[in-house]
Structure 1
Amino acid sequence: MTTLTQQPTAIRRTRQLVIGAVGNAVEWFDWYVYSMLAVYFAGQFFPKSTDESLTPLLSTLAIFAVGFFMRPLGGLVIGGLADRYGRKRALSMTIIGMGAGSLLIAVAPTYAQAGIAAPAILLLARLIQGLSAGGEYAAASSFVIESAPDHRRGFFSSFFYISATSANLAAIGISALLANLLSNSQMTGWGWRIPFLLGSVAALAGLLVRRHAHETLDEETTDRPGRGRRGFFDFLVRYPKQSLLVFGLTAAPGLTFYVWTAYLPTYASLTVDFDPKLGLTSGAIALTWFLLLQPILGVVSDRVGRRPMLLVFGVFFAVATVPMLGLLDGSFRSMLAVQLIGLTFLACWSSISSAVAAELFPARFRSAGIGLPYAVSVALFGGTGPYVATWLVDQGRATWFPWYIALIALGSTLVYLALPETARKPLK
């Protein structure tokens, strides 16, 4: 096996970056489109009672959260396999799983057609997608960072969220297009299925692209007959501090990312009567700005380091979340302003997240070391964020949610203060 480091050409590195980004975009389109369309298909899988109007949405968001809790298993198992047998194989596994889950949702029967089997199928699909999403971040982060020269790891890292944000924009764009072309009854009846079907087809195309990836894991690092096998939790035994750092540094970003990129219009519609359709437009504008910031801040981190960038993010959300969400008043202008401000500071983390995590572990334990702590943190804080917010609204305590975000941000900020600077050190 010839490794990338034995052939350090600019063309090969660029191709690796494109392969990683394209496949990642396909994966995250399939993941994001669920939250974009939940308001349309919730009633198809969960019957609505006259007394509890939020029950279908809460149930659908609960399955959204359950999908997140499969991500740690994906990060552990698929990340471990990536460390044993290579990144390329793992990346093929994740995109197959994500596409299969998307196809299953696209063809799933409704509650009226299949009864309790309908939400069970929806749950199964999200479990498969959650497993794939957890493995994707673990393997793709290692793949992209290992493909980068040492002095440009921050820049290469930024493409993880360039691709993920592009997928989010595509999900918003297609959802908005369908919402404007179809009537509300058509969207709730069958229109919501179209993006899931498109996602499954895109996953097949992404699989073909990933077949041309060049393996970044050195052959001497992989498991072979006659060589001692690694346990799935060996990374945790050997690198407990690094694992805890990944968990802590991800908590606040995991929560704020899913609130600001997907749930904020729903939160505003529940609290200040904001029109969700306008949220698609403001979200598209804000995410475009967020996407443009990624490579710029990635380059900045290669020069000034990772810790200053993370501290800017953490301190801002710890101090400014409550007044920032207090700006929401139901208008398009306030929604756009809150999204732009929040995503600007969130980009200080997202642009370098893959590099920060990958730089803490050696190659032999890198994917699993990234995958499990990251996924557990995202599941506990990001996956439950929309549910917590909706539940608080339902309980008449909507104003508690901004304080909840600020508290989590304060915790992550303390982790950033303890994080060693890794930007200028060679990759292990």
Structure 2
Amino acid sequence: MQATTPTAEGHDRIVTKPHALAPTWGVVTAVVLGNGLEFFDFTVYSFFASIIGKLYFPSHVPLISLLAAVGTFGIGFLLRPLGAMVLGGYADRHGRKKAMNLTILLMAAGTGLIGFAPTYASIGLAAPAIILFARMLQGFSAGGEVGTAGAYLVEHAPPGRRGLQSSWLLAGAGGAILLGAGLGAALSTVLSQQALESWGWRVPFILGLLIGPVGAYIRRYLDETLPEEVHGREARNAPLRELFRNHLRTVLAVSSVAAVGTSATYVLMYYMPTYATRSLGLPMSTALLSSCLAGLMMLVLCPLAGMICDRIGRKRAIAIGVIAMAVLIYPSFMLLKAFPRIEVLLGVMSVLVCIYVIFAVPQITLMAEQFPQSVRASGMSIVYAIAVAIFGGFSQLFVTLLIAWTESALAPAGYLLALSLISVLALFFVKEEPGQLDAE
């Protein structure tokens, strides 16, 4: 449990007290499971987008089926802002623990619906409707999961280690991507195309369904970080009203800072296997290795990036990473186009993921440090939801359309370059107050 004392700036300093679930690894595991389920589900959906498009959005033109599948993937992100307002506000009024238990169960329900949904050939238009509803349910729940889980980790962090503590949110996502990509690669290698389309693609979704009850059970033993005095005050004064009345400029600025982070997540981690197969001509089982590598590197490097941003500051770390992305993204895709081989793909992914974690990890901590505890879950949830809804969730759809319209395999690089510039400019409108939330 943690208590707060108000600062002169109106933010809440956090004073750590003993918590119910020890050691800290238990707390981290319990918190990151929900975010991990989100990334696991998105990973396997992205990897099997072509099959899902064929089974649920049939068309004589394969590109149209793929666009329908990745478009449905993006639809879920439109529900994120609503989920952020409803579930983020719930977390600020009633506590992080209750909100996280709710979000992980809702997310698991959406995952299960996809895993067991009959195909278009079986029930007609009801099939894509089920997929659409499942994605909307997942988007709604994910809208509250990331901000609430991030707020909990930051509030639970020891003084001076908030970057490291919050880094486990992305490290866990990397582990989930590794697991999802590994399952996808294994199934694509072991099963025939017929078996993969018949039942094999469902296996990861059904396994993902099990994470929900397990995660909810483990989260029962988490202690609450929202003090009773804050709980009581915010139960009477709606956190969303306070957020938009006093922190709207901050919400817009930090959402813009997160633009390149959310877009890079879905282009590099999820779209790259589809890009490698459709634009580079690599086999799916081989292309999936790039995402396995990306997940492994996130799992290993995110804590290191967290320690670095604790030492040099959030804004400086973000600026270094985003500028490096802007400089290297075009050469990376030009290299892929010139030498479409697996070793080149893995080398390019290694460089881009290293750059990605440099700016993605401190973005999480920066979000938390912009808001007082009374509206922190709402603020983080809405900031992340806006960035994902506008820039990240539809990245696969935008990039697929850009490649089709421009007939250029370099279109993804142009998309990420443009968002890198937006994020760098937005940093000028965000204040960094080192240690403002740490205990005395």
1:264–1:30 CA distance, 2 compared to 1 (3 A): closer
Partner of 2:357: 347
Residue type at the aligned position of 1:42: G
Q: Does 1:283 align with 2:291?
A: yes
Correspondence for 1:214 among 204, 216, 223: 223
Bigger mean CA offset, 372-381 vs 393-402: 393-402
2:386 pairs with 1:376: yes
Which residue of structure 1 lines up, in the alignment, with residue 7 of structure 2? none
Residues 355-400 of structure 1, C-alpha deviation per residue, up to 9 Å, x if partnerless?
1100110010101111112111111111111111111222243334
2: distance between equivalents of 1:288 and 1:422? 32
Q: Letter of the aligned partner of 2:419 in structure 1?
A: I
CA contact (8 A) 1:267 1:389 kept: no
Deviations 1:316-358 (A, max 9, x none): 2222211111111320011111111110010012222321100
Q: Which of residues 178, 185, 192 is equivalent to 2:187?
A: 178
Distance 1:402 1:207 in 2: 39
SS for the counterpart of 1:274 is coil
Of 389-398 and 62-71, deviating more is 389-398
The CA deviation string for residues 109-131 of structure 1, in whole angstroms up to 9 with x for no partner, is: 11111111100000000000011
For normalisation by structure 1, the TM-score amounts to: 0.94
Q: Which amino acid aligns with 1:146?
A: E
Change beyond 3 A, Cα 1:423–1:184: farther
Other structure's SS at 1:140 match: helix
Aligned with 1:260 (options 258, 268, 273) = 268
Cα displacement string for residues 201-247 of structure 1 (whole angstroms, at most 9, x for unaligned residues):
1211111111111101111111479x633153430211122212221
Question: CA, structure 1 residues 344+153, in 2 after alignment: closer, same or farther (shift >3 Å)?
Answer: same
* Partner SS, residue 215 of structure 1: coil
What secondary structure, in the 3-state scheme, does the structure 1 residue paired with 2:222 have?
coil
- SS of aligned partner of 1:273: coil
In structure 2, the CA distance between the partners of 1:54 and 1:233, relative to structure 1 (3 Å rule), is: farther
The answer for unaligned runs of 5 or more in structure 1 is: none
Equivalent in the alignment of 1:304: 312
Does residue 386 (structure 1) correspond to residue 393 (structure 2)? The answer is no
- Is the CA contact 1:31–1:129 (under 8 Å) kept in the aligned structure 2? no
**In angstroms, what is the RMSD of aligned CA positions?**
2.0
Contact 1:359 1:427 in 2 (8 A): no
Output the CA distance in 2 between the equivalents of 1:21 and 1:136: 10
Q: Which residue of 2 aligns with 1:22?
A: 33
Select which of 113, 121, 127 maps to 2:136: 127
Which residue matches 1:320? 328
Aligned partners of 2:185 and 2:286 also within 8 Å: no
Would the aligned equivalents of 1:75 and 1:371 in 2 still touch at CA under 8 Å?
A: yes
Q: 1:424: Cα distance to partner?
A: 2.8
The alpha-carbon deviation at position 2 of structure 1 amounts to 7.4
Q: Which residue of 1 aligns with 2:57?
A: 46
- Counterpart of 1:240? 248
**Post-superposition shift, 1:307?**
1.2
Deviation at 1:427, TM superposition (A): 4.5
SS at match of 1:192: helix
Tell me how far apart the structure 2 counterparts of residues 165 and 34 of structure 1 sit (CA, whole Å): 16
In structure 2, what is the Cα distance between the partners aligned to 1:427 and 1:236? 25
Match of residue 105, structure 2, among 63, 85, 96 = 96
C-alpha deviations, 1:23-56, integer Å up to 9, x for none? 432343233221122122221101121xx22111
Deviates more, 1:286-295 or 1:138-147: 286-295
Determine the structure 2 residue equivalent to 1:190.
199
Q: Counterpart of 1:149? A: 158
Match of 1:36 among 32, 38, 47: 47
C-alpha separation in 1, matches of 2:22 and 2:239: 36
Q: Which runs of 5+ in 2 are unaligned?
A: 4-13
Counterpart contact for 1:307–1:417, Cα < 8 Å: no
TM-score by length of 2: 0.92
Change (3 A) 1:285 1:234: same
| Cα distance in 2 for residues equivalent to 1:98 and 1:259 | 22
- Which residue matches 2:8? none
